[in-house]
Amino acid sequence: MRSLFILPMIILFTGCSGSTNQKLVVDGDAIALSRNEVINGIEDCKTVNLRPVIIHARKSVNGRFVPVVIDVTCAPKSGG
Query: 10-22, pLDDT tens digit by residue?
Result: 665 655 555 667 6
Q: Is the pTM of this model over 0.85?
A: no
Map out the domains of the chain as residue ranges: 20-75
Q: How far apart are alpha carbons 26 and 55 in whole angstroms?
A: 16
Q: In angstroms, what CA-CA distances link 13 with 1, 2, 16, 59? A: 19, 17, 5, 34
Three state DSSP letters for the chain: CHHHHHHHHHHHHHHHCCCCCCCCCCCCCCCCCCHHHHHHHHHHHHHCCCEEEEEEEEEEECCEEEEEEEEEEEECCCCC
> Residue 55 — very low, low, confident or very high, per pLDDT cuts 50/70/90?
very high
Is 40's pLDDT higher than 90? yes
pLDDT given for residue 76 in this prediction: 94
